[in-house]
Structure 1
Amino acid sequence: MPLSNIAIVPNLQKPKVRYGLSFVLGALMLFAYAPFEQGWLAALLLASWLLLLVRCQTPKQAALTGFIFGLGWFGTGISWVFVSVDRFGGLPLPATLAIMLALFAYLALYPALAGWLWLKLRKKTNRYALFTFPFIWLVTEFLRGWVMTGFPWLNLGYTQTATQFGALAPHIGETGISFVVLLAAISFAYVALTKRLEWFAVPVLLYAVAMLSPQLNPMEFVGTSSRVALIQGNIQQELKWDSEQQEPNFLTYKNLSEPLYEDFDLIIWPESAITFIEPLAQSTLGQFAQRLNATEAVVLSGIIDYNPDTKQFFNTIAVFGDQQTPYEWQNPNRYRKNKLLPIGEFVPFESILRPLAPLFNLPMSSFSRGEPTQQNLTANGREIAANICYEVVYSHYIKDQVTAGTDILLTVSNDSWFGNSHGPHQHLEIARMRAMEFGRPMLRSTNNGITAIIDHQGYIMQRIAQFEVAVATANVPHVTGTTWYTRYGSTPTWCMAIILLGVSLLRRNRAQA
């Protein structure tokens, strides 16, 4: 019997009922992510949405069901973008709301595509159609993370960062955890569709595997550690790029750091903490580096680099005070951001868009890209794989930066754009997932929160609340070993999804024989 003929709730035959419920289910996905962290909701909400999807009769209905689910999902999940657009965009409220709706609608196209593709394929699989859905979903999620530089925020796997399924991260990564959530959701859906309780065995088995998975984690402590201090200066975004504030901004971080020089190996300042243009402040920066050379500390700080020959700006992390590679402008011991944020760091079609509104002409929105693969930073003998702000969401990109010799992961950010919203909490959740995937401690330094020191298992050792001027310190143990995810990435997950797709098609063909 086809899935579409199985009655669950008669009213689900009415498209308007399905669309309304789809929006509600998508909106409730917000609570599966930080700061709410109710990860158990994800599979249940997806299962409920799949039950709506199987009632669709045409690809158009399925696409619309997916689109409206996406509107609810992204409309609540990334509503924090409104803070920056409204506060710094310089647009009237109706225009701001129109931009937000356009963003939500664009992102909702991907679950719409998943729904459309699934219904087109359903005829070939019949009762086993839902097992084709993980492959379809992974394809559309890949596209969302790639098209126009991508926006892989709110992937399903992040809902499980604080749950037992998060223990699977070193083995299959966030993409693999998304696959696990989908399997659990499909199993719950089949319980409702078939009234057969044995489908509950699938999520139980998955949970058991997650419980046992830490036993297979190859990470081991090596007996050494780094004394680290992360500085949160809480500089107001409105003042950050004021030329008269360059010296006060620098002194804020310098004064917070000086008492730490003798006691800490690594002192981390956030993204663009130094608002001087680097080549124009060599005297000040040179004196700062010399002062550090007389101590045991090394400072890693975000700074804006500029190449006067090529007229290029780079969002950069520079290292000050390392004895092996003394600081100088454009020395190789630095990291340049590669994954730039559209509008915030570069403006597509800028000749057309920049004159339209202040939103398209923000300070420091003309950066050039660094190299796609860069060597680790070296600081006091530690190898550090760095990334800046939004880049932490690109797991495959960070995988290319991590080597067998990497001791620590570092991400610096400036979440001042998003105020007191759930955006910074989601950002921290993503950073925790990266630490778990690669089995290395993660240092997350931000201008106004949430600054955190995260161990190699994703647990937060120390954190600073938002909008505080403070310092987070910890003795971070070093570990050795290479996680399965570091070795193989998402390849095993894609193989499992393809196998499920093939089995679904095979069962259909056998049924016809």
Structure 2
Amino acid sequence: MFPVKLKTVYDIIFIIILAVLYNLSFSPFDFKFTIYLSLIGYFFLIYDKEKTLAMKYSFIYGFFIYLIGVSWIFNSLYDYGGKNYILSSLMTFIFISLLASFFILIGYIFNKDIRKYQKIILPAYVASLWTIIEILRSNILGGFPWLLVGTSQVNFIYNNIFSLFGTYFISFITVILSIIFFLILYEREKIYYLKYFLSIFLLVIFTNTLVFHRDMNKDKDLRVSIIQPNIKPTYKYNTKNLNEIKKVIYNMSKHSKDSDLIIYPETVIPELYDDKEDTYEKILSQEKKILISGIFRKDTNTNKIFNSMLVIGKNTSIYDKRKLVPFGEFTPFPKLFIPIASMLNIPMSNLSEGDSNSSEIILDKFIIHPLICYESAYPNLISQKDLSKPEVIVVLSNDSWFGQSLAPYQHLQISQTRALEFNKYILRAANTGISAVIDNHGNIKKTVELNQRGHLNEIFRVKTGKTPYSRFGDYPILVLIFAIMISALYLCKKNER
């Protein structure tokens, strides 16, 4: 036997390996199966531990998952917040610790005491708890729906199931399969758990062969150009470069002569939008087109500043971003964090949220579902209305804040989940990349690679029709979780009698 301290060191090294395996399942690595190995190893580590130790190990597991997966937050805080290493490190540490703290609840429940639950309900109970934690983490205090288990499984064995129940359900299935496999290895009732595993796995495979939506005959072909100017923030927010940036934007539009739709990324011109701005008018004067661009705009009545999407066609429409990035676009808990945020001095970090009721932009021939950057991680922001016209999801982004990191690849993968859930094409324009056309099956058709200036042109069929997920959202998985939790509590009380 190892001494206690040495055993703890080995356990922590094992946890770090598990955290690496967890992250390897996400883009750009896309080793889909490694998240199963990570979860199985995690359950193995805490299953026979006392509650306190299981909670500690769970926190450490979550901490290293996010330290590896989202440490790019430090890049934006440091590079564009005044090069303050100590403050940037402190805020990154606090943020990652808050995310990791959600894992403590798993350790509180899943430890040596969990054997009181009947074996038939135990896997579903733990998977439900995990999914609840993902939902809470995605929504509490603004939310951070990054590195969800379900997101890692894009283009694996669940693609059609995304359109049925969404990403949280895929998280649920992935966790339940992982924990049953762990129980096959660990418990004596191996045949029982093997049957349990095979029944769920085969049901998943069968369900994935079905199609839960149909395309209507109103689909329309659309020619689109997506522009990636590749302008770094340090250059972009230097006012001396404004005219040069406008020239770049105008000149790049010349590659889109045959397009119906031209898309520029988030806040492409680093100044407040003025409807007398002639850059967009010059582009549109070439032919009859629709132009989409990210802008900053100021409401003259309230003096609030918004991160917005401008759509210019026969008429002009503006959509204001509803989900802002914590610390990047607004400061949560102002009394606590504003003194720190003011020292970092990040550009345009005092923005306001848009109207929560705003949603789709209706044009003559099709409908745009607008999402700006961080919003692409929130499927509930996409309208669930029954609309008679073909629909497309447009995502404007600016991942340049995060430098050469995992963030742009992870962000692109999140957009793939939206394409699958809603059976819609996604047109993604990102300032420094990765710009892409994603088809309704979650496949990336064309890209402009990271940190490259370029454009892409694509002709595709804009889809009509609704998926079950676009109609019902996350309600089915919430009902399922509620039923499992009630059943688990009932069976637990029954055993105690």
TM-score, normalised by the number of residues in structure 2: 0.91
Alignment of 1:452-467 (within 5 A): 452-467=436-451
Residue of structure 2 aligned with 1:164, choices 157, 163, 174: 157
Does residue 183 of structure 2 align to residue 199 of structure 1? no
Q: What's the Cα RMSD here?
A: 2.8
Cα distance in structure 2, aligned partners of 1:350 and 1:190: 46
User: Hey, what does 2:400 align to over in structure 1?
Assistant: 416
User: Hey, what does 1:240 align to over in structure 2?
Assistant: 236
- Asked if the contact 1:382/1:407 (under 8 Å) is kept, the reply is yes
Q: Partner letter of residue 468 of structure 1?
A: Q
Cα distance in structure 1, aligned partners of 2:7 and 2:85: 35
Does residue 260 of structure 2 align to residue 265 of structure 1? yes
Say which SS state the counterpart of residue 277 (structure 1) adopts: coil
Cα distance in structure 1, aligned partners of 2:27 and 2:388: 31
Provide Cα deviations, 1:255-281, integer angstroms capped at 9, x if missing partner. Answer: 1113423x11111000001223113xx
- Asked if the contact 1:12/1:55 (under 8 Å) is kept, the reply is no
Cα distance in structure 1, aligned partners of 2:386 and 2:416: 16
Say which SS state the counterpart of residue 330 (structure 2) adopts: coil
Alignment of 1:377-456 (within 5 A): 377-379=361-363, 381-399=365-383, 403=387, 405=389, 407-456=391-440
Cα distance in structure 1, aligned partners of 2:386 and 2:152: 24
Alignment of 1:203-214 (within 5 A): 203-212=197-206, 213-214=208-209
Cα distance in structure 2, aligned partners of 1:291 and 1:105: 47
Cα distance in structure 2, aligned partners of 1:84 and 1:143: 25
Cα distance in structure 2, aligned partners of 1:277 and 1:193: 61
Provide Cα deviations, 1:340-380, integer angstroms capped at 9, x if missing partner. Answer: 11111112355764554666421111111111121422345
User: Hey, what does 2:213 align to over in structure 1?
Assistant: 218
- Asked if the contact 2:19/2:64 (under 8 Å) is kept, the reply is yes
Deviation at 1:114, TM superposition (A): 2.4
- Asked if the contact 1:232/1:471 (under 8 Å) is kept, the reply is yes
Does residue 304 of structure 2 align to residue 312 of structure 1? yes
Say which SS state the counterpart of residue 409 (structure 1) adopts: strand
- Asked if the contact 1:66/1:112 (under 8 Å) is kept, the reply is yes
Deviation at 1:480, TM superposition (A): 2.3
Deviation at 1:82, TM superposition (A): 2.4
Q: 1:250 to 1:189 in 2, by over 3 A?
A: same
Residue of structure 2 aligned with 1:249, choices 245, 250, 266: 245
Q: Partner letter of residue 411 of structure 2?
A: H
Q: 1:401 to 1:270 in 2, by over 3 A?
A: farther
Deviation at 1:19, TM superposition (A): 4.4
User: Hey, what does 1:303 align to over in structure 2?
Assistant: 295
Does residue 27 of structure 2 align to residue 34 of structure 1? yes
User: Hey, what does 1:88 align to over in structure 2?
Assistant: 80
Unaligned runs of 5+ in 2: none
Deviation at 1:63, TM superposition (A): 1.3
User: Hey, what does 2:352 align to over in structure 1?
Assistant: 368
Cα distance in structure 2, aligned partners of 1:259 and 1:132: 54
- Asked if the contact 1:313/1:368 (under 8 Å) is kept, the reply is yes
Unaligned runs of 5+ in 1: 1-8, 328-332
Provide Cα deviations, 1:392-431, integer angstroms capped at 9, x if missing partner. Answer: 1112223558856451001100010111111100000000
Q: 1:235 to 1:418 in 2, by over 3 A?
A: same
Residue of structure 1 aligned with 2:99, choices 89, 107, 126: 107
User: Hey, what does 1:46 align to over in structure 2?
Assistant: 39
- Asked if the contact 1:316/1:334 (under 8 Å) is kept, the reply is yes
Residue of structure 2 aligned with 1:497, choices 454, 458, 481: 481
- Asked if the contact 2:384/2:470 (under 8 Å) is kept, the reply is no
Deviation at 1:11, TM superposition (A): 9.4
- Asked if the contact 1:225/1:476 (under 8 Å) is kept, the reply is yes
Deviation at 1:483, TM superposition (A): 0.7
Say which SS state the counterpart of residue 338 (structure 1) adopts: coil
Residue of structure 1 aligned with 2:171, choices 178, 187, 200: 178
Cα distance in structure 1, aligned partners of 2:325 and 2:478: 27
- Asked if the contact 2:426/2:439 (under 8 Å) is kept, the reply is yes
Q: 1:204 to 1:122 in 2, by over 3 A?
A: closer
Say which SS state the counterpart of residue 325 (structure 2) adopts: coil
Provide Cα deviations, 1:109-146, integer angstroms capped at 9, x if missing partner. Answer: 00112221445973652655443212221222222112
Cα distance in structure 2, aligned partners of 1:370 and 1:19: 43
Say which SS state the counterpart of residue 373 (structure 1) adopts: coil
Cα distance in structure 1, aligned partners of 2:388 and 2:362: 14
Cα distance in structure 2, aligned partners of 1:225 and 1:295: 18
Deviation at 1:302, TM superposition (A): 0.3
User: Hey, what does 2:137 align to over in structure 1?
Assistant: 144
- Asked if the contact 1:346/1:365 (under 8 Å) is kept, the reply is yes
Deviation at 1:97, TM superposition (A): 2.9
Deviation at 1:31, TM superposition (A): 0.2
Cα distance in structure 1, aligned partners of 2:307 and 2:364: 23
Q: 1:437 to 1:359 in 2, by over 3 A?
A: farther
User: Hey, what does 1:330 align to over in structure 2?
Assistant: none
Cα distance in structure 1, aligned partners of 2:481 and 2:338: 43
Cα distance in structure 1, aligned partners of 2:345 and 2:167: 34
Of 425-434 and 370-379, more deviation after overlay is shown by: 370-379
Say which SS state the counterpart of residue 43 (structure 2) adopts: helix
- Asked if the contact 1:158/1:433 (under 8 Å) is kept, the reply is yes
User: Hey, what does 1:5 align to over in structure 2?
Assistant: none
Provide Cα deviations, 1:303-337, integer angstroms capped at 9, x if missing partner. Answer: 111122311101111112x12x2x3xxxxx21100
Residue of structure 2 aligned with 1:346, choices 330, 340, 344: 330
Q: 1:350 to 1:57 in 2, by over 3 A?
A: closer
Provide Cα deviations, 1:182-229, integer angstroms capped at 9, x if missing partner. Answer: 111111111112251553444544444444424323132635211111
Q: Partner letter of residue 431 of structure 2?
A: N
Say which SS state the counterpart of residue 67 (structure 1) adopts: helix
Q: 1:62 to 1:351 in 2, by over 3 A?
A: closer
Residue of structure 2 aligned with 1:64, choices 56, 60, 74: 56
- Asked if the contact 1:221/1:480 (under 8 Å) is kept, the reply is yes
User: Hey, what does 2:453 align to over in structure 1?
Assistant: 469
Cα distance in structure 2, aligned partners of 1:460 and 1:173: 19
Cα distance in structure 1, aligned partners of 2:337 and 2:3: 49
User: Hey, what does 1:274 align to over in structure 2?
Assistant: 269
Cα distance in structure 1, aligned partners of 2:74 and 2:362: 38
Of 473-482 and 206-215, more deviation after overlay is shown by: 206-215
- Asked if the contact 1:306/1:314 (under 8 Å) is kept, the reply is yes
Cα distance in structure 2, aligned partners of 1:239 and 1:351: 32
- Asked if the contact 1:167/1:211 (under 8 Å) is kept, the reply is no
Q: Partner letter of residue 362 of structure 2?
A: T
Identical counterparts, % of pairs: 26
Say which SS state the counterpart of residue 278 (structure 1) adopts: coil
User: Hey, what does 2:472 align to over in structure 1?
Assistant: 488
Cα distance in structure 2, aligned partners of 1:163 and 1:24: 23
